[in-house]
Amino acid sequence: MSASATAVTATTDVGKSDARIPLRAHLRHTGALIRRNLLWIRQDPESMFDALLMPIVFTLLFVYVFGGSIGQALGGGQDGYVQYVIPGMIAMMSMTLSQGVGTGFSQDFNSGVMDRFRSMPIGRGSVLFAKISVELARMLFATTVLMIVAVLVGFDINNWPGLFAAVGLSAVFASSIMWVFLTLGVILKNAQSVQAMGFMVLFPLQFGSSIFAPTQSMPGWLQAFTDYNPLSTLADAARGLMVGGPVAHDLWVTLGWSVAITAVMGPVAIHKFRTKS
């Protein structure tokens, strides 16, 4: 039998054995893999530098470099801009850190770790869910750092339940986007390719949104783009929850985007992982 036929047969056998694994075993496998990923972070603390430094750098950059001019346009000066931009940056963290799951996944494939996982009698989905869980933990860590810096630069937390709701909504959206990056981590050859593709996706979505500035002054064609940009609805929903304003429409649109992306990309990522040779 040829090597390619053997690989296809092995993949089919793995898929069949995966289908027979009960839910309790899937949960146990996911927990073990989460612990493995956390231990890897403990051994390589530098992998947390982006989650630590990104919220600090971006907060200081936008507040002190752009806060004065944009704040004046908002009618509240720099203090007003702080109240505007911090909820948007929570949305930004959910998107920016999500690409880490794809680069890490690609590195595990190239190092042979994923080949070992796929040769073991564990649920294929457990590997993916464990990756997403750890990246969500990294995102929550980055959000905590962001809020500490935000308070230091003058952000007023007047609505704690709204803050927690905004962070939860960002986590839901981030988990859906991670399926996209998991798929890229499987189909692209290396982590650099995943990172490059991630920037091509993230850059227009982040800056063509209401995260950093209101969209009313943008050209008409760009405003049309921001109306369909899920990062705009996420930022506006977080803003409404944290500092007040309309919430319902942006909340439901963001949840709709999250469900749709997960429903489409989740099965694709799992299928690509199972069938990758």
142-183 pLDDT, tens digit per residue, is 999 999 999 999 999 889 999 999 999 999 999 999 999 989
User: Rounded to whole angstroms, what are the CA distances from 36 to 27, 40, 114, 139?
Assistant: 14, 6, 13, 18
Arithmetic mean of pLDDT, 191-212: 87
Binned at pLDDT 50, 70 and 90, residue 10 comes out as: very low
Number of alpha carbons in the 13 Å side-chain half-sphere of residue 223: 7
d(CA 30, CA 9) in angstroms, rounded, equals 25
Supply the pLDDT for residue 29.
76
Task: Give CA–CA dist 168/56, Å, rounded.
Answer: 21
pLDDT digits over 14-61, tens only?
444 455 677 677 778 788 788 887 887 788 777 788 888 999 999 999
In this prediction, residue 121 carries a pLDDT of 66
Of 49-53, 74-78, 128-132, 173-177, which range is least confident?
74-78
The stretch 58-86 carries a mean pLDDT of: 86
Q: Token pair 């694994």 is at which residue?
A: 21
Give the model's pLDDT for residue 234. 95
Please report the pLDDT score of residue 20 as a whole number. 66
Structure tokens given for 106: 């690609």
Average pLDDT over residues 65-72: 82
Residues in the chain: 277
- In this prediction, residue 265 carries a pLDDT of 93
Name which of 106-120, 181-195, 210-224, 248-262 the model is least confident about: 106-120
Q: Where are the domains of the chain?
A: 3-275
Identify which of 158, 146, 127, 157 has the alpha carbon closest to the alpha carbon of residue 37.
127
pLDDT of residue 9: 40
For residue 122, CA distances in Å to 1, 118, 189 come to: 26, 8, 24
State the pLDDT confidence band at 13, using cuts at 50, 70 and 90. Answer: very low
pLDDT tens-digit map of 222-266: 888 888 899 999 999 999 999 988 899 999 999 999 999 999 999
- Cα 17 to chain center, whole Å? 30
Question: Which pLDDT score, from 0 to 100, does residue 19 have?
Answer: 52
pLDDT value of position 4? 38
